[in-house]
Amino acid sequence: MRPLENLLVVSLEQAIAAPFCTRQLADLGARIIKIERPVGGDFARGYDERARGMSSHFVWANRSKESVTLDLKIADDLEALRALLCRADVFVQNLAPGVTRRLGLDHGTLAERNPGLIVCDISGYGEGGPDEQRKAYDLLIQAESGFLSLTGTASEPCKAGISIADIAAGMYAYSNILSALLERRETGQGRRIDISMLEAMAEWMSFPLYYALDGASPPTRTGADHATIFPYGRFAVVDGEIVLAVQNDWEWAALCAKVLRQAALEKDPRFETNSLRSVNRVALKAIISGTLGSLSLEEVEGRLAEARIAYAPISTMADLWDHRQLKARDRWREVETPAGPLPCLLAPGQVDMRISPVPERGVHTSAVLREFGLRPSGA
């Protein structure tokens, strides 16, 4: 039996943050009833067509769910949703600020009929404060949280290549829901969870926040190199690129002697400590690049392995699909979709994960409403 079997989650969700949260719950066995608009549904369905005609975002975040379409502007459909929530254990939503309160779907109202209900609201800025009503999307929160100020090159900030703010909020929502379920087991009472995308990213920004404490200068943008540890970053080799990481003075000595084969470099007064190596990174990078740039990737990996220095090649998406470690650990499975079966990854730590189809929009509407003794508007 999976940990969350027999748990009913109703989700009024769109985009990434809430769908990613509920997919984690589905992986553990929870039943997810995903409420979508009759026209268009979750707008993430239209982000792209790269997954054999389907949205790559939607396929990733929405397996193992049941899709029910309801028009919440119609009284009967809104009442049908309220009836579902009377039977639910968890309600997750990330609509625009204030929408669920106007619809009577806030925790205070819902708890009157279902005191054990856990309500998780995900928004850009959280309830209260001057920014409560602002709409928010991933890139905007990357900007406002300070993430963009630290990511990129000296000349230009760059966004993360994934929806990092949405993922952060979704994972905090997921962990808070698990905590609330444990709490409810003791008290019998549900509660409200208020997840802010800004706060999720601000928590992840805590290292640079402390680094810039008391008005100190923040870490600089250094491309694919670490801002404060060096050498820790990207280096070119004859047939590709590699990232290596020197974390301490012992590894620095090993890099000089066994990888660069310049043992005397260890005692160069410009590079004796990490702080000095970071300050003098331009000169040091030129020295390291002079050696590594004349070697093949295989040769560099061999030297780094001998020196016991951590390294990684820079993979493409094609490389990741074919990664030897994911294959060796049997992390790939198959998920059914409207376009046929697709490969999918097991969630980290999971081996007996629930993997059910990615749903077509509204495909479960009639069956779910009949099960709960309801009927859609116009039926």
What is the mean predicted confidence (pLDDT) over 116-120?
Answer: 98
Does residue 167 share a domain with residue 90? yes
3-state secondary structure of 313: strand
3-state secondary structure of 268: coil
Digit-coded pLDDT (tens) for 173-204: 999 999 999 999 999 999 999 999 999 999 99
Does residue 304 share a domain with residue 338? no
Identify whether 1 is part of a domain.
no
Burial class (CB in 10 A: 0-12, 13-18, 19+), 315: exposed
pLDDT beyond 50 at 246: yes
Does residue 160 share a domain with residue 116? yes
Digit-coded pLDDT (tens) for 39-79: 999 999 999 999 999 999 999 999 999 999 999 999 999 99
Share of the chain above pLDDT 90, in %: 96
312 - beta bridge partners?
243
Q: For residue 225, give every residue at least 6 positions away whose Cβ sits within 8 Å of its Cβ, in sequence order, or none.
A: 232, 233, 234, 281, 285
- pLDDT band for position 379 (50/70/90)? very low
pLDDT beyond 80 at 136: yes
Amino acid at 68: V
Does residue 181 share a domain with residue 100? yes
Residue in 107, 226, 323, 364 annotated catalytic: 226
Does residue 332 share a domain with residue 309? no
Closest Cα partner for 370 from 40, 7, 66? Answer: 66
- pLDDT band for position 351 (50/70/90)? confident
Does residue 364 share a domain with residue 305? no
Does residue 258 share a domain with residue 122? no
Task: Quote the CA–CA distance of 81 and 184 in Å, as a whole number.
Answer: 23
Domain at 194, CATH number: 3.40.50.10540
- pLDDT band for position 377 (50/70/90)? low
Task: Quote the CA–CA distance of 69 and 78 in Å, as a whole number.
Answer: 11
Task: Quote the CA–CA distance of 299 and 9 in Å, as a whole number.
Answer: 52
Phi/psi-derived region of residue 213, left when phi > 0, alpha when psi is between -120 and 50, beta in every other case:
beta
pLDDT, the chain, mean: 95
Identify whether 136 is part of a domain.
yes
Digit-coded pLDDT (tens) for 95-111: 999 999 999 999 999 99
- Computed on alpha carbons and rounded to an integer, the radius of gyration of the chain in Å comes to 25
Q: For residue 242, give every residue at least 6 positions away whose Cβ sits within 8 Å of its Cβ, in sequence order, or none.
A: 234, 235, 292, 297, 300, 301, 304, 311, 312, 313, 314
Task: Quote the CA–CA distance of 361 and 359 in Å, as a whole number.
Answer: 6
- Residue 247 near residue 255, CB atoms below 8 Å: no
- Residue 164 near residue 89, CB atoms below 8 Å: no
Measured between alpha carbons, how far is residue 236 from residues 257, 274, 290 in Å? 20, 22, 10
Which residue blocks in the chain are alpha helix, DSSP H? 17-27, 56-61, 75-87, 99-102, 107-113, 138-144, 147-150, 164-187, 197-204, 206-211, 249-254, 274-279, 281-292, 297-307, 317-321, 324-328, 365-371
What is the mean predicted confidence (pLDDT) over 128-150?
Answer: 95
pLDDT of residue 309: 97
Does residue 253 share a domain with residue 165? no
Task: Quote the CA–CA distance of 308 and 312 in Å, as a whole number.
Answer: 13
Angle in degrees, CA 356, 359, 365, rounded to 5: 115
What is the mean predicted confidence (pLDDT) over 218-238?
Answer: 93
Using the structure block, give the residue that is written with the tokens 């926040």. Answer: 209
Identify whether 166 is part of a domain.
yes
Q: What is the pTM of this model?
A: 0.92
Residue ranges making up the domain that contains 167: 8-205+328-371
Does residue 183 share a domain with residue 117? yes
Identify whether 28 is part of a domain.
yes
Please confirm, yes or no, whether 226 is among the known catalytic residues.
yes
Angle in degrees, CA 75, 76, 79, rounded to 5: 85
pLDDT of residue 376: 61
Closest Cα partner for 194 from 132, 130, 102, 111? Answer: 132
Does residue 279 share a domain with residue 255? yes
